[in-house]
Amino acid sequence: MGAESGTVPMTMIQALRSAMDVMLDRDPGVVIFGEDVGYFGGVFRCTEGLQKKYGTSRVFDTPISESGIVGAAVGMGAYGLRPVVEIQFADYFYPATDQIVSEVARLRYRSAGEFIAPLTIRMPCGGGIYGGQTHSQSPEAFFTHVCGLRTVMPSNPYDAKGLLIASIECDDPVIFLEPKRLYNGPFDGHHERPVVPWSQHPRGEVPEGHYTVPLESAAVQRAGSELTVLTYGTMVYVSEAAAQESGVDAEIIDLRSLWPLDLDTVVESVKKTGRCVVVHEATRTSGFGAELAALVQEHCFYHLEAPIERVTGWDTPYPHAQEWAYFPGPDRVAAGFRRVLEK
């Protein structure tokens, strides 16, 4: 897991690219493809320069067909390759659902291990960029309901690279969600303020070589005593801002791996604080926050001093014009803190 070489400042985009670069270099079985990822380098430029460096057989553009991208990757995985594919926006994974649920997730099981699909399926997710309902979704809950998949969401460049390498090396299929609002800097929900770049953030300092951040390990983003925040992706920073602005001494846990989950870290923290707020951007009902709440009440029942609070996106499509009324910003998160503390 240790880094092989020195560190340099990287944005999340650069960190992801660096992870793919490292893996393309180390493993001839790694191939990268998706819509616009080849010559152009991806609409978010995550794969820029990789086709030039590794050739069109290793990094290439695909037809606009998410089921084809994933389906072809399954076949390649069965052959023995290790495809890393991009879905241009998480909002567009739906055409690939059958391949993901019925094939990727179940291939090892149904063939009793004869065939595996060790794919990494990258997709930018989340809102805050005025993308409207088809460029803003956070569909992680779907994936966590599908046994056989791993679901990962990094919140900073260091983790992004380390988790992406770990995902590519993993023999299980990994859904790798990238909070696009974090691509260029941490975002605390104050959209009216200037963007802070990753170069000013400690986790923007990234080793150039190979290293991994283990899957199934959560990180304590901020230690605290009054309540536990379970969150991931963009909401890590929003929760931090909420803690700071409200003066609540929140312990913020960045789950990083949504499923399988580092339950121990979660349970330990909630047992300590006795209160829990779950924060995510996805719609509330049957969101991953529901699973977290169900687990926490199951494992920490006798330690809980207040109901677990969920601060989430509303149960509506992600609207374009009312983006900031939809986005669970620091005020809403802080209000959630207050509610669990008042009880």
Partner 1 sequence: MSDHQPLRLHVPEPTGRPGEHTDFSYLHLSSAGEIRRPPVDSAAADTSDLVFALIRVLDDEGRAVGPWDPGLPPERLKAGLRAMMKTRVFDARMQIAQRQKKISFYMQSLGEEAVSVAHALALGPGDMCFPTYRQQGLLMAREVPLVDLICQLLSNERDPLKGRQLPVLYSVRKAGFFSASGNLATQMPQAVGWAMASAIQGDTKIASGWIGDGSTAEADFHTALTFAHVYRAPVIINVVNNQWAISTFQAIAGGEGTTFAARGVGAGIASLRVDGNDFLAVYSASRWAAERARSNLGPTLIEWVTYRAGAHSTSDDPTKYRPADDWAHFPLGDPIERLKRHLTGIGAWSDRQHEDLKKELEAEIGVAQKEAESYGSLADGHVHSAASMFEDVYKEMPAHLRRQRQRLGV
Ligand X SMILES: Cc1ncc(C[n+]2csc(CCOP(=O)(O)OP(=O)(O)O)c2C)c(N)n1
* Interacting residues toward ligand X by CB under 6 A: 35, 64, 88, 92, 95
Residue (of 331, 277, 290, 284) closest to 312 by Cα position: 284
For position 60 contacting its own copies by CB under 8 A, the verdict is no
How many other CB atoms sit within 10 Å of the CB of residue 279? 27
Among 95, 205, 249, 271, binds partner 1 (CB under 8 A): 95
Pick the closer one to ligand X by CB: 36 or 249.
Answer: 36
* Residue 29 C-alpha from the chain's centroid: 24
Interface with partner 1, residue 194, by CB under 8 A:
no
| Minimum CB distance to ligand X smaller for 66 or for 251 | 66
Alpha-carbon span 275 to 300, nearest angstrom: 10
Q: Which does 144 bind (CB under 5 to 8 A by kind): partner 1, its own copies, ligand X, none?
A: its own copies
Q: Give the range of 2-10, 88-96, 161-169, 198-206 binding partner 1 by CB under 8 A.
A: 88-96
Residues 6+ apart with CB under 8 A from 295: 261, 263, 266
Peptide bond into 260 cis (omega under 30): yes
Interaction residues for its own copies, span 297-326 (CB under 8 A): 297-299, 301, 304, 306-310, 315-317
The interaxial angle of helices 263-273 and 288-300, nearest 10 deg, is 60
Is 276 in a helix, a strand, or coil?
A: strand
Select the residue interacting with partner 1 from 15, 20, 32, 73 (CB under 8 A). Answer: 73
DSSP β-bridge partners for residue 231: 254
Residues 131-190 that bind partner 1 (CB under 8 A): 131-135, 147-148, 150, 170-172
Beta strand residue intervals within the chain, DSSP E? 7-9, 30-34, 59-61, 82-86, 120-125, 150-152, 174-179, 205-207, 219-222, 227-231, 250-254, 257-259, 276-283, 309-313
Catalytic-residue membership of 191: no
Total binding residues toward its own copies, as defined by CB under 8 A: 43
Task: Map the footprint of its own copies across residues 198-257, applying CB under 8 A.
Answer: none
- CB-nearer residue toward ligand X: 35 or 240: 35
Provide the minimum distance between the beta carbon of 119 and its own copies in the complex, in angstroms, as a whole number.
17
d(CA 298, CA 282): 23
Asked if 94 interacts with its own copies (CB under 8 A), we say yes
- Tell me the C-alpha distance between 91 and 124, whole Å: 9
- Smallest distance, its own copies to C-beta of residue 130, A: 16
Using alpha carbons only, how large is the chain's radius of gyration in Å? 19
Binding mask 227-256 for partner 1 (x = CB under 8 A): ------------------------------
Catalytic residue among 135, 145, 190, 303: 135
Contacts with its own copies in 101-120 (CB under 8 A)?
101-102, 106, 109-110
When binding is defined by CB under 8 A, the residue of 22, 90, 107, 253 that contacts partner 1 is 107
The β-bridge relationship of strands 30-34 and 59-61 is: parallel
Sign of CA dihedral 310, 315, 317, 323: negative
Side chain identity at residue 307, one-letter code:
P
* C-alpha distance from residue 189 to each of 195, 237, 281, 339 (Å): 10, 8, 11, 20
In the complex with ligand X, the residue whose CB is nearer, 64 or 147, is 64
Applying CB under 8 A, among 57, 194, 302, 342 the residue interacting with partner 1 is 57
259 binds its own copies (CB under 8 A): yes
Is 9 one of the binding residues for its own copies (CB under 8 A)?
A: no
Q: Residues interacting with its own copies, by CB under 8 A? A: 91, 94-95, 97-98, 101-102, 106, 109-110, 133-134, 141-142, 144-145, 147-148, 259, 283, 285-291, 293-294, 297-299, 301, 304, 306-310, 315-317, 343
Catalytic residues: 135
